[in-house]
Structure 1
């Protein structure tokens, strides 16, 4: 197996505090993937957030913080945020100016979600806001969510959906996706939940990881679910730090080291040189060498004028997110098996790593790195 240097081994086993990580974590928090929610009070915005995050309406309400004079923001999870939602407060004001909200969304915005109840045809405030947003922004992706669709039946429902669709098309154009849902069907479930998640994930791929279906069968997978949001947070921090030229060479391994140290503790596994070496061995004989070479090459690409600070930096960030998420997923499997005194399958380790690597890269919205 290709060996890490002694210094790298020590850093991975006993990660120290690094002031560079503080700025990386701050950068990550300030540039969270963001969705802008636009809709009247009572349209179903809180229910939508609850469906995505699993948090109750009360928790969501407490989590909103003032962001601009006309908008509130909600970061999820609050302790280790992965995603942010922007909710417009000034929608009903005749002189609503979306400029400040657009500037806020521009930091890391990935799209606009318009929420309309099918039994609510008075949407003039939403339509007026959409016209201003369309005129002043370069937002390319819009998703229209028709809510409370089970409150109407047959042709009445169809006409109501078409009417609201037409309102959005008139103010935005026809280039947008739509989905019909109801947050309270007869069985207490969400009507067309999978279609909703699929539409949201196309708009913001991270949602596909945060709110994906959890119908897993094995105990090991259920254990990973308990630590997955932490793994995603570490992946987000590594990705954010790799947007900065050269910094990723130091910060990415350090973030990953802290993640592995934390995961080992949570699974009750002794984290030492022997454990690290064995875990790396299960990932394949060339893993360590390829890891070091690819990390270094990404830093070199980032210093190329123009290309390096744009495409190169984004590709590096996507790869760092993917490798960190992949490493966290494989390590969780390894630690689970070790904690049970069970043998670790190198084939499973490598398959889990590769699958999670691809899912992680796709979740950044840039999966061609």
Structure 2
């Protein structure tokens, strides 16, 4: 698989990656549509080749937070997936095995699973049975039981499984929430990214439209803060770009006066702690061994949380400013604290 370009933004070089493994027609593209909300055309045109028969799909397209890998050709004559499988393993975090419930011939997929198991590189695997509503319930249960037994034998242990049925033409997604919840248990960031819950008010609705952009900047700040001293410059720079971008999205004039007002409503404790904590994290990373491991990971998680919290608070601030409303100091400070804690929790390096 081609390595990401060194000129790519840092967060795009280490994207959380879901590897979809299944026969052609198993429903992998429909699964991506259901998870991302992208159309069939967007998904179809969004794949880019990364090996001879494997393709990558980045979501969102403009500021990617998640990568899907699709290895194609399983079961086709004269196709040896060994090289593709090896390369996909190196960049994947979760393996999603996709099987159409009525497709009983899965020998090629079972063989590949046995190969992957022997390499011991994949720690997280989830079985996804698709098109489960197209067969009678009793028949479906029999087929699922047979598949489950065969897959668990190939993998050598019990496996978690989700039954889904996605009709993308009518936007009917059976068990989508259960699928997101299962992936979230393994990769919390994915759950926050793909969340489609109802919003309590218009401000929350507007934030949902910029949330993935905030997460993109948070991921970038988190990655750059893994390295000693670098984060002292890179984290504030990423956050400054984020604030400028958000102001533009909310159509609010952004200048030094606006920045000072935002920091003011966040409170003196925020500005004081921000500078002290950022500097302290850089010093910790200079400690031999500890600083390059646990210290760096902690710094990255805190920078993710800080950036996400700042983005959430800024969105609240810009929303009210764009409507000529007064910003509630207590509300914005609580929003920052809650988002900061959530960000630390879901950080890919938390």
Q: What TM-score do the two structures reach when normalised by structure 2?
A: 0.92
Contact in 1 for aligned 2:22/2:72 (Cα 8 Å): no
Deviation per CA, 1:296-329: give whole Å up to 9, x if none.
Answer: 1222222222222222222222221121111111
- Aligned residue for 1:119? 102
1:96 aligns with 2:80: yes
**Does 2:67 align with 1:67?**
no
- What is the alpha-carbon distance in structure 1 between the residues aligned to residue 249 and residue 168 of structure 2? 38
Instruction: Measure the CA separation in 1 of the matches of 2:86 and 2:276.
Output: 40
Q: Could you tell me which of 5, 10, 26 is aligned with 1:27?
A: 10
How far, CA to CA, are the matches of 1:35 and 1:186 in structure 2? Answer: 24
Cα deviations by residue, 1:176-197 (Å, 9 ceiling, x for unpaired): 3211111139975211121111
Alignment of 1:220-299 (within 5 A): 220-299=203-282
Distance in structure 1 (CA, Å) of the matches to 2:297 and 2:311: 21
> Is residue 2:149 matched to residue 1:166?
yes
**Residue-by-residue CA offset, 1:86-127 (whole Å, 9 max, x unaligned):** 1112423576344554444434x3210001111111111110
Q: CA deviation at 1:258?
A: 0.8
Q: 1:24 to 1:284 in 2, by over 3 A?
A: farther
Q: RMSD over aligned Cα, in angstroms?
A: 2.2
Distance 1:25 1:257, change over 3 A: farther
CA contact (8 A) 2:113 2:154 kept: yes
Q: Is contact 1:102–1:137 with CA below 8 Å preserved after alignment?
A: no
Give me the whole-angstrom Cα distance separating, in 1, the residues matched to 2:171 and 2:73: 32
Residue 44 (str. 1) matches residue 33 (str. 2): no
Per the alignment, residue 55 of structure 1 pairs with: 38
- Counterpart among 123, 128, 150 of residue 111 in structure 2: 128
Structure 1 length-normalised TM: 0.87
Which stretch has the larger CA shift, 72-81 or 261-270? 261-270
Q: Does the residue aligned with 1:60 lie in a helix, a strand or coil?
A: helix
Q: With CA pairs under 8 Å and 6+ residues apart, which has the higher RCO, 1 or 2?
A: 1
Residues 348-367 of structure 1: pairs in structure 2 closer than 5 A = 348-367=331-350
| Alignment length (residue pairs) | 345
1:77 aligns with 2:60: yes
- Unpaired segments of 5 or more residues in structure 1? 1-21
Distance 1:313 1:99 in 2: 33
CA contact (8 A) 1:143 1:203 kept: no
Shift of residue 83 of structure 1? 0.7
Where does residue 16 of structure 1 map in the other structure? none
Question: For the residues of structure 2 that align with 1:125 and 1:95, how far apart are their CA atoms?
Answer: 10
Aligned counterparts of 2:118 and 2:83: Cα–Cα separation in 1? 11
The equivalent of 2:289 in structure 1 is: 306
The answer (yes or no) to whether the contact 1:99–1:136 under 8 Å persists in 2 is no
1:98–1:133 contact (8 Å) kept in structure 2:
no
CA distance in structure 2 between the partners assigned to 1:279 and 1:47 by the alignment? 42
Give distance in 2, aligned partners of 1:244 and 1:91: 41
Task: Give the structure 2 partner of residue 146 of structure 1.
Answer: 129
